[in-house]
Structures are given as C-alpha cells and as structure tokens.
Amino acid sequence: MAKLTVDDSSFQRGIDEFLRRVENNKMKALNDVADEILRLSSREVPHDTGELQNSAEVEQGFDEVTVGYNKVYAARLHEHPEYNFQKGRKGKYLEDPIKNNLRVFREYIVKSMGEGFQ
C-alpha cells in the first residue's frame, strides 16, 4: 500500500489571509458608509442649540457599525417630520440620506469587498 502525505499548511495560511483581508475590507467599507451617512445627515438634522448635531456618533461592533445621534429626544424628532423645524432642517434626518443613497452605498461596499479577492 502506498501512502501520500499532503502538507496543506501554506494553503490554509492563504485562506486565513484571504479571510482577514475580506473582513478588514468589509469593516472599512461599513465605517466609510457610516461616516458618509453622518456627513449627509448633518445637513438635515434639526438644529437649535447644536447639541443634537454634535451628538452624532459611529459605533463599531464586532461585525456591525451603528450610526446615530445620542440625545434622548433624537428619535422623537426623527420620527416626526411634521414638526416645524428651523433653518430648513427636517425629521427623517438619518432615514432619508440612507434611502436616497442606498444604491451608492451598496456599490461602494461591493467594490470594497471585491478588493479582498485580489
């Protein structure tokens, strides 16, 4: 009987490196999109004293990124676009920039993920 031993350690290292690159590209893309959402929403977020606008934050989790404004009244203002906001500001200040740019965000993430395959 003939025996053959195959050393796949270099192949496994290649797979591990590939997965690391894909994960890094994914998180970079998510952070870039989150930063762009905040940039776009900063033009729409209600502005009286500036506290709400200044509370903008991006939080990176293990496998996700959260974008938001950190004031107790942020959700109420977001969900009531019928309010009479000053300075051309409006409700849905996070939702609308996401909806209006969803195609661009998707394309950016797909492109970024594809770079992990090179």
Nearby residues of 65 by Cβ (< 8 Å), 6 or more positions away: 27, 30, 31, 33, 34, 58, 59
Band of pLDDT at residue 116, cut at 50, 70 and 90 = low
Cβ atoms of 33 and 15 within 8 Å: the answer is: no
Euclidean distance between CA atoms 67 and 75, whole angstroms: 13
Please write the tens of the pLDDT for every residue from 52-87. Answer: 999 999 999 988 999 999 999 999 999 999 999 998
Please write the tens of the pLDDT for every residue from 21-36. Answer: 888 888 999 999 999 9
Q: Is the dihedral of CA 43, 88, 107, 79 positive or negative?
A: positive
Please write the tens of the pLDDT for every residue from 81-112. Answer: 999 999 889 999 999 999 999 999 999 998 88
Counting other chains too, the contacts that 69-75 makes at CB distance below 8 Å and 24 or more residues apart are: 69/45, 69/94
pLDDT of residue 67: 95
Average pLDDT over residues 6-34: 89
Angle (deg, nearest 10), helices 9-41 and 95-114 = 160
Cα–Cα distances in angstroms (integers) from residue 19 to residues 38, 61, 65, in the given order? 29, 18, 19
Euclidean distance between CA atoms 7 and 41, whole angstroms: 53
pTM of the model: 0.82
Euclidean distance between CA atoms 109 and 102, whole angstroms: 11
Average pLDDT over residues 43-60: 94
